[in-house]
């Protein structure tokens, strides 16, 4: 059948099955009644009246949509009032700020660059003689944490005493975490030592953050020393603390010390017994240091302790083996884990395809992929999309189309995403395979796959240059 006839059939079929009504609908700004009431009160705030008590009297339901609406209205001309509303909302018993709302508040009020607004809010409380609680300070400290402003958080912590508020462990933890994340461990250590002077003590969260901080600052010996300190305070390390230390030792490449600590965790057992994340971290460290063959021993070790590798573990190790040129060992490992029931054949060999592509061994990856299809195995989405995109980049869109046809016969096409379809169609058009391009467009229409925006213009232009204006028109109609 001629291309023009095929296109006409496709156009008729598509419009019959997929009618489109390009009716522009204007969506007016719709604010909730609650947000409107809060906003009206904030605008008409009467000097001398307690704002927070007035907000309570509204008795409107708080939710994230309402809070965000009010914050947006306040962000331009009333930032202090907006922040006071945000703090007040965070203290209500029937509502709790999510991480998203803290992030949104930081964005709208530009807390990172305008931290003075936080102290302006505290000054309002002082002037009005408002009751200020530890919980209120925690809302402000969490804003500092979201904005990643350590010095300002410390300043807020110091102001708690001015309002007769005694900081608790959670308050200290927020500030300690910020200084640990910027590797300022001297200040973090001072804060942790300071806790004892105000009759509060570090908890597991404190120690884990300190361990992570010391490791990030490459002060592993100091991190190890914390284990002795925490035991002395009756806070015994668990798998989270051990894993934080282990991760730090792995990152500096001290693999012998890594094994020593791993063995210690296995001996202690109980809450300290390594889990799949712990073992995977060790395997990744060995692979990154070019010792993937030794990392294979960790697999046997973890199974001895009743822990089995997951897909991530397998992917990291297989990639490490392939990168080190140990492809045969990668095959043997996958066969072994499949035989033991750790992963399915589909998952195991899909992982091998992806690992080979990561090291740009496309020939071997394609060989594995073809064997999978011939053996009735179903490559997963990551393997299918990754291989077909790589082949298209090499100008082999016709080979990709062959894979598409073969997978369609086996009903394996569900893993293909619209991006892969778009790249394949563009490749077919660029290489002049117009019959195959037309057939692919038909498959996309049938499966309701829409073209990705960045590719539409190029594909349409290529088709017009080839004299296929009708097909170009049809391609333009299936945009995302």
At 65-122, the pLDDT tens digits run 999 999 999 998 899 999 999 999 999 998 999 999 999 999 999 999 999 999 999 9
* Partners of residue 451 on adjacent β-strands: 479
Q: Which residue has the higher pLDDT, 286 or 20?
A: 286
User: Quick one: CA dihedral 347, 350, 356, 358, positive or negative?
Assistant: negative
pLDDT of residue 81: 93
Residue 457 to residue 447: CA distance in whole angstroms: 22
246's enclosing H/E stretch is: helix 239-251
Q: Decide: 100 and 94 in contact? Cβ < 8 Å.
A: no
Burial code (b: 16+ CB inside 10 Å, e: under 16) for 110-130 equals ebeeebeebeebbeebeeeeb
Residue 381 to residue 360: CA distance in whole angstroms: 18
Nearest of 62, 59, 2 to residue 434 by alpha carbon? 2
Question: 248-278 pLDDT, tens per residue?
Answer: 888 877 778 888 888 888 888 888 888 898 8
R_g of the chain, CA atoms, integer Å: 30
Nearest of 309, 323, 246 to residue 281 by alpha carbon? 246
Q: Residue 435: CB partners within 8 Å, gap ≥ 6? A: 3
Taking CB atoms within 8 Å and a gap of at least 24, the contacts of 65-71 are 65/32, 65/35, 66/32, 66/34, 66/35, 66/38, 67/95, 67/97, 67/101, 68/101, 68/104, 69/31, 69/32, 69/35, 69/39, 70/35, 70/38, 70/39, 70/42, 71/104, 71/105, 71/108, 71/109
Q: Residue 352: CB partners within 8 Å, gap ≥ 6? A: 318, 322, 330, 331, 334, 365, 368
Residue 309 to residue 281: CA distance in whole angstroms: 12
Q: Residue 423: CB partners within 8 Å, gap ≥ 6? A: 388, 389, 392, 455
Task: For residue 352, give both structure tokens.
Answer: 């091998």
pLDDT of residue 417: 87
Q: Decide: 279 and 313 in contact? Cβ < 8 Å.
A: yes
Nearest of 263, 260, 267, 205 to residue 230 by alpha carbon? 205
Tell whether the model's pLDDT for residue 57 goes beyond 80.
yes
Nearest of 203, 201, 125 to residue 159 by alpha carbon? 125
Q: pLDDT grade, residue 478 (50/70/90)?
A: low
Q: Which residue has the higher pLDDT, 480 or 428?
A: 428
Of the listed ranges 214-228, 309-323, 384-398, 401-415, the one predicted with least confidence: 401-415
Task: For residue 298, give both structure tokens.
Answer: 């960790």
pLDDT of residue 260: 87
Q: What percentage of the chain reaches a pLDDT higher than 70?
A: 90
pTM beyond cutoff 0.85: no
What is the SS3 assignment for 366?
A: helix
Residue 434 to residue 432: CA distance in whole angstroms: 6
Question: 180-214 pLDDT, tens per residue?
Answer: 999 999 999 999 999 988 889 899 999 999 999 99
* Average pLDDT of the chain, as a whole number: 85
Task: For residue 462, give both structure tokens.
Answer: 């290529």
Tell whether the model's pLDDT for residue 354 goes beyond 90.
yes
Q: Which residue has the higher pLDDT, 139 or 263?
A: 139
Residue 259 to residue 148: CA distance in whole angstroms: 35
């Amino acid at each position: 059948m001629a291309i023009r006839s095929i296109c006409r059939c496709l156009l008729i079929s598509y419009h019959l099955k997929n009618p489109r009504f390009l009716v522009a609908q204007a969506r007016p700004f719709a604010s909730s009644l609650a947000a409107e009431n809060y906003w009206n009160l904030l605008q008409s705030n009467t000097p001398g009246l307690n704002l927070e008590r007035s907000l309570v009297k509204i008795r409107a339901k708080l939710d994230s949509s309402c809070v965000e609406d009010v914050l947006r209205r306040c962000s331009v001309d009333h930032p202090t009032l907006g922040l006071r509303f945000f703090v007040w909302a965070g203290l209500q018993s029937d509502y709790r700020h999510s991480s998203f709302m803290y992030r949104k508040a930081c964005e709208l009020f530009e807390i990172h660059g305008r931290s003075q607004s936080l102290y302006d809010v505290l000054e309002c409380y002082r002037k009005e003689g408002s009751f200020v609680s530890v919980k209120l300070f925690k809302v402000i400290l969490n804003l500092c944490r979201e904005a990643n402003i350590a010095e300002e958080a410390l300043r807020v912590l110091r102001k708690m005493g001015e309002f007769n508020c005694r900081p608790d462990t959670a308050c200290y933890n927020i500030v300690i975490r910020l200084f640990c994340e910027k590797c300022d461990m001297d200040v973090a250590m001072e804060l942790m030592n300071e806790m004892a002077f105000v009759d509060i003590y570090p908890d597991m969260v404190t120690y884990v953050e300190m361990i992570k901080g010391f490791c990030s600052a490459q002060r592993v010996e100091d991190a190890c020393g914390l284990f002795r300190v925490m035991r002395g305070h009756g806070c015994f390390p668990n798998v989270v603390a051990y894993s934080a230390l282990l991760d730090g030792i792995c990152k500096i490449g001290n693999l012998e010390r890594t094994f020593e600590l791993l063995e210690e965790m296995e001996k202690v057992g109980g809450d300290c017994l390594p889990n799949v994340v712990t073992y995977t971290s060790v395997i990744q460290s060995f692979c990154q240091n070019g010792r993937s063959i030794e990392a294979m021993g960790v697999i046997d070790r973890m199974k001895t302790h009743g822990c089995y590798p997951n897909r991530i573990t397998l992917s990291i190790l297989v990639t490490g083996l392939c990168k080190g040129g140990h492809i045969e060992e990668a095959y043997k490992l996958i066969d072994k884990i499949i035989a033991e029931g750790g992963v399915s054949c589909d998952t195991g060999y899909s992982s091998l395809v992806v690992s080979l592509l990561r090291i740009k061994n496309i020939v071997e990856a394609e060989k594995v992929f073809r064997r999978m299809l011939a053996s009735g195995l179903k490559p997963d989405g990551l393997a299918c999309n990754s291989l077909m995109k790589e082949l298209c980049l090499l100008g082999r869109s016709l080979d990709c189309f062959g894979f598409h046809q073969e997978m369609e016969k086996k009903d394996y096409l569900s893993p293909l995403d619209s991006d892969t379809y778009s790249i394949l169609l563009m490749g077919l058009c660029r290489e002049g395979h117009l019959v195959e391009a037309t057939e692919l467009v038909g498959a996309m229409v049938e499966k309701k796959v829409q073209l990705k925006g960045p590719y539409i213009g190029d594909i349409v232009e290529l088709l017009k240059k080839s004299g296929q204006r009708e097909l170009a028109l049809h391609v333009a109609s299936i945009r995302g």
